Structure 1
Amino acid sequence: MKTTEYTAKAPDPQESLIRPGTELRLLLILSALMSFASVSTDMYLPALPTIGRDLHTNSSTIELTFSAFLIGFSLGQLLWGPISDRYGRRLPIAAGLVLFTVGSVGCALSTSVTEMMVWRVVQALGACVGPVLSRAMVRDLYDREQSARILSTLILIMGVAPLVGPLLGGQILVFWSWQGIFWTLAAVGVLALLSLLALPESLPLARRSTSPLRCSLASYLALLGDVRLMGYALSGGFFYAGAYAFIVGTPFAYIEYYHVSPQAYGWLFGVNILGMMAANFLNGRLLRQVESEQLFRIGTGILALTGVILAVNAWFGWGGLLGLVIPIFIYMSMNGLIVANSVAGALSSFPNNAGAASSLLGAMHYGSGILSAAMLGWFSDGTPWTMAWIMGLAGVGSLLTCVIAIRLYARQGLTVAQG
């Protein structure tokens, strides 16, 4: 059987950008940009019940503001990737941050749930530029194994945002209002714009795309036909579906069902971020001896197991609040073994259109959250069961997609070479 190797040409060396003296600054800025998804969602989580009451709507309707954000976040990534492949990374990032700031101000001034949904879409169209182009910049500068380690480092650093976000949101809710949360997000957007003064351009003119932007659709169709990319994207997408079911579902499961205070919810949420940071740190260390593909498989296996345990606990009510908190902690910690390794593996074959590939990957990852967030509203029964079975199903889906993808590689005679 003929064997075809997927190999990725290492990016052109850009030593002036990644010297020891500049790498830490670069990592800090990229991690801040990657955190915009978490900052935009996690900070307002403790305020969801309050926002629902103030805007005179129920929990399932106010959850649609989260779905609206994910719609804008997913579709926006498909736009920014090709633009950045053609015009470089810095200019699109600046434009996105302006949109994010305007959308945050609009949310703060909203007087109805419909207005907030519209402004959340605008906010998301800007927020998505940070994660998608941060991943592309990493691919510009590093090969596959280095990318996996750098992405783990970035996720480890950016873990501060989702850790602090709910805690800060809860405190703003006590001393200010839910509108104050969005004014704070607007200020974050302005600060991020200022940080671009210290961010170098990672995509040289020689490697920029010369294809018209109207050709982006054809480019995406070609990427959709890549078995390797789709395997990573779908498996990672199932993880994100479960993660967003957790993000949207826990404010009501913890605060309303188990009567946890908004401030205590911030601490319970933050414990999961600590688990994610620890797992990303471990992943970065293990990548020196273990291939990223193997760590990715291990992560999906643990994800499926803990997802099933969570669903069983919620169905029978075993363990009460701890019956949710403990398996969710393990489940969310698998972010450390799944996200960085799946992204690095997916992008390793696309050195010349990393922006488009990163956009498609991100759109599929975050787009999966649209469905899981909507399902919470459709099937909600007032208990944690809906959240739990969605997370369990997503965990099993992540594992099965990983296994199926590996079998497809074998049938087609594909071997994955470490880039």
Structure 2
Amino acid sequence: MRGDFIVPTQNTRLWTYSLPVALVLLAPFNILASLGMDIYLPIVPSIPAILGTTSEVVQLTLTLYMIMLGIGQIIFGPLSDRFGRRPILMGGVLVFAATSSALAMTTSAWLFVLLRLVQATGAAAMLVAVFATVRDVYADTPESAVIYSLMNAMLAFVPALGPIAGALMARYFGWEAIFIALCISALIALPFVLPKWHETRQSRKHSSRADFGLVLRSPYFWVYTLAFGTAMGAFFVFFSTAPRVLIERAGLSELGFSIAFASVAVVMIATTRFAKSFVARWEMDGCVIRGMLILLFSASLLGLGETLLTPSFWSFVLPMWLVAVGIVLTTSVTANGALQEFSELAGTAVALHFCVQSLIVGVIGTCVVIALNGGTAWPLIAYTGGMAAITLAALIGLTRYKQQR
């Protein structure tokens, strides 16, 4: 035993909300963190000319946002365990709103990149507050699988509508309107939600000085976080390459691209409807294995399309519908799998989970996009197929580890 025990904080109050009400409180900040990435996609091909820079620098605004979402949580996870979820949420929202406003006014490429980093820091704080609260309230309850699948459905809903909204705002009001809308949305959500968002953190008196080490020594944490990173990375590489493939090579308009992109998110939303029954039928490992096999099959279809066909909706987007199914199968269970041993370290464990998966997604995903020509399907083929194969091998190793215990 580590000598840990739990005492409530002075301002802790039990959440007695129904699941729909809890989702209304949690969802805005979960959505905003994702929207900061997705609403911006339709203007990615235009940003080099607007800011007088290159497509590689613009790729940094996507990559560094993703990486900072994870690294920022290494700071905010432990801080949320120490000071509470509410102050971390408030600070994150204010930083996100301020930098979104500044992004709308900058004309410098490198200042734009820096502001995107700071914006991602605010988004990271929001995500920590949301998922640590979910873990506080719903750990080891039947509602746990439901709320994780619903939160993932919301994250799928954002790419369904976010790029369309971004394309329309850019067309009628200019690209700056995209970031102004993010700022206003954050400032509206905070005063609406905060009075009802009771603090859920519980203080821990413990003898351990190595919370990070406890998490990082867990093979469950590593394997399921790898699986989560593989699934989310497939989507990251897709939206890193999709604007160039579909707008520049396939000739779609910004709105046409947004609708094609949204179709993948719609498939994710539809699949999420069945996530609970998938988990009940196949359990955690069965869902992840099937998700990885679907990713491997999808990579082969993308390879055939890139080799034999001209770039189009059918050769590039249609195989992504299958990828979307694999993503949902995987992400509906991996958070619980990675964090199953750490109910007492919710903030720290969530922070490390998102940090590691963000590094997987951002570093490996960006490397394949740059190395294999981001204007083709090859980065998506390499990432999806290669990472799925690695994850399957890791799952086999974890199964042997379980059998030996």
- TM-score of the pair, normalised by structure 2: 0.90
Report the counterpart of residue 289 of structure 2 in structure 1.
297
The alpha-carbon deviation at position 224 of structure 1 amounts to 1.1
Per the alignment, do residues 77 and 397 of structure 1 end up closer, same or farther by CA in structure 2, a change over 3 Å counting? same
Report the counterpart of residue 235 of structure 1 in structure 2.
227
**For structure 2, which runs of at least 5 residues remain unmatched after alignment?**
none
SS in 1 for 2:376: coil
Decide whether the 8 Å contact of 2:290 with 2:326 is kept in 1.
no
**Is the aligned partner of 1:403 residue 2:403?**
no
Per the alignment, do residues 235 and 43 of structure 1 end up closer, same or farther by CA in structure 2, a change over 3 Å counting? same
**Is the aligned partner of 1:174 residue 2:166?**
no
Which string of whole-angstrom CA distances, capped at 9 and with x for unpartnered residues, describes residues 73-129 of structure 1?
111111111111111211101111111111212211221221111000000000112
Equivalent residues, number: 396
Instruction: Output the CA distance in 1 between the equivalents of 2:390 and 2:237.
Output: 14
Instruction: Output the CA distance in 1 between the equivalents of 2:311 and 2:335.
Output: 35
Which amino acid in 2 is paired with 1:203? T
Aligned residue runs from structure 1 range 99-110, under 5 A: 99-110=95-106
Which string of whole-angstrom CA distances, capped at 9 and with x for unpartnered residues, describes residues 310-341 of structure 1?
23322333784312111111102322211120
Decide whether the 8 Å contact of 2:292 with 2:392 is kept in 1.
yes
SS in 1 for 2:16: coil
Which stretches of structure 1, 4 residues or more, deviate above 6 A after TM superposition? Answer: none
**Which of 384-393 and 72-81 deviates more?**
384-393
Per the alignment, do residues 142 and 293 of structure 1 end up closer, same or farther by CA in structure 2, a change over 3 Å counting? farther
Percent identity between matched residues is: 24
Report the counterpart of residue 53 of structure 1 in structure 2.
49
Decide whether the 8 Å contact of 2:278 with 2:329 is kept in 1.
no
Decide whether the 8 Å contact of 1:151 with 1:340 is kept in 2.
yes
Which string of whole-angstrom CA distances, capped at 9 and with x for unpartnered residues, describes residues 339-392 of structure 1?
120001211211111111111111111222212124313432643333332333
SS in 1 for 2:273: helix
SS in 2 for 1:159: helix
Report the counterpart of residue 94 of structure 1 in structure 2.
90
Report the counterpart of residue 359 of structure 1 in structure 2.
351
Per the alignment, do residues 18 and 298 of structure 1 end up closer, same or farther by CA in structure 2, a change over 3 Å counting? farther
Per the alignment, do residues 269 and 289 of structure 1 end up closer, same or farther by CA in structure 2, a change over 3 Å counting? same
Instruction: Output the CA distance in 1 between the equivalents of 2:242 and 2:27.
Output: 25
Which amino acid in 1 is paired with 2:50? D
Which amino acid in 2 is paired with 1:84? S
The alpha-carbon deviation at position 158 of structure 1 amounts to 4.2
Report the counterpart of residue 71 of structure 2 in structure 1.
75
Which string of whole-angstrom CA distances, capped at 9 and with x for unpartnered residues, describes residues 165-190 of structure 1?
00000001110111111111111221
**Is the aligned partner of 1:190 residue 2:182?**
no
Which amino acid in 2 is paired with 1:235? A
Report the counterpart of residue 308 of structure 1 in structure 2.
300
**Is the aligned partner of 1:224 residue 2:216?**
yes
**Which of 23-32 and 170-179 deviates more?**
23-32
Which string of whole-angstrom CA distances, capped at 9 and with x for unpartnered residues, describes residues 280-332 of structure 1?
21112334454233222222221222123223322333784312111111102
Which string of whole-angstrom CA distances, capped at 9 and with x for unpartnered residues, describes residues 142-161 of structure 1?
23453122110222244332
Aligned residue runs from structure 1 range 4-403, under 5 A: 16-20=14-18, 23-144=19-140, 145-204=142-201, 207-209=202-204, 218-317=210-309, 320-371=312-363, 372-380=365-373, 382-403=375-396
Report the counterpart of residue 417 of structure 1 in structure 2.
none
SS in 2 for 1:110: coil
Root-mean-square deviation (CA, aligned residues, Å) is 2.6
Instruction: Output the CA distance in 1 between the equivalents of 2:307 and 2:330.
Output: 27
Which amino acid in 2 is paired with 1:253? V
- TM-score of the pair, normalised by structure 1: 0.87
Per the alignment, do residues 33 and 334 of structure 1 end up closer, same or farther by CA in structure 2, a change over 3 Å counting? farther
Which amino acid in 2 is paired with 1:196? V
**For structure 1, which runs of at least 5 residues remain unmatched after alignment?**
1-8, 415-419
Per the alignment, do residues 15 and 258 of structure 1 end up closer, same or farther by CA in structure 2, a change over 3 Å counting? same
Instruction: Output the CA distance in 2 between the equivalents of 1:300 and 1:289.
Output: 17
Per the alignment, do residues 354 and 146 of structure 1 end up closer, same or farther by CA in structure 2, a change over 3 Å counting? same
Instruction: Output the CA distance in 1 between the equivalents of 2:83 and 2:374.
Output: 48
SS in 2 for 1:300: helix
Instruction: Output the CA distance in 1 between the equivalents of 2:374 and 2:198.
Output: 50
Decide whether the 8 Å contact of 2:245 with 2:311 is kept in 1.
no
Decide whether the 8 Å contact of 1:81 with 1:355 is kept in 2.
yes
Per the alignment, do residues 381 and 50 of structure 1 end up closer, same or farther by CA in structure 2, a change over 3 Å counting? closer
Decide whether the 8 Å contact of 1:69 with 1:121 is kept in 2.
yes
Instruction: Output the CA distance in 2 between the equivalents of 1:154 and 1:47.
Output: 27
Instruction: Output the CA distance in 1 between the equivalents of 2:189 and 2:206.
Output: 30
**Which of 392-401 and 172-181 deviates more?**
392-401
Per the alignment, do residues 113 and 287 of structure 1 end up closer, same or farther by CA in structure 2, a change over 3 Å counting? same
Decide whether the 8 Å contact of 2:164 with 2:259 is kept in 1.
yes
Which amino acid in 2 is paired with 1:180? A
Instruction: Output the CA distance in 2 between the equivalents of 1:60 and 1:344.
Output: 36
Which amino acid in 2 is paired with 1:243? F
Decide whether the 8 Å contact of 2:216 with 2:222 is kept in 1.
yes
**Which of 260-269 and 63-72 deviates more?**
63-72
Per the alignment, do residues 393 and 52 of structure 1 end up closer, same or farther by CA in structure 2, a change over 3 Å counting? same
Decide whether the 8 Å contact of 2:106 with 2:112 is kept in 1.
yes
Instruction: Output the CA distance in 1 between the equivalents of 2:392 and 2:199.
Output: 34
Per the alignment, do residues 323 and 94 of structure 1 end up closer, same or farther by CA in structure 2, a change over 3 Å counting? same
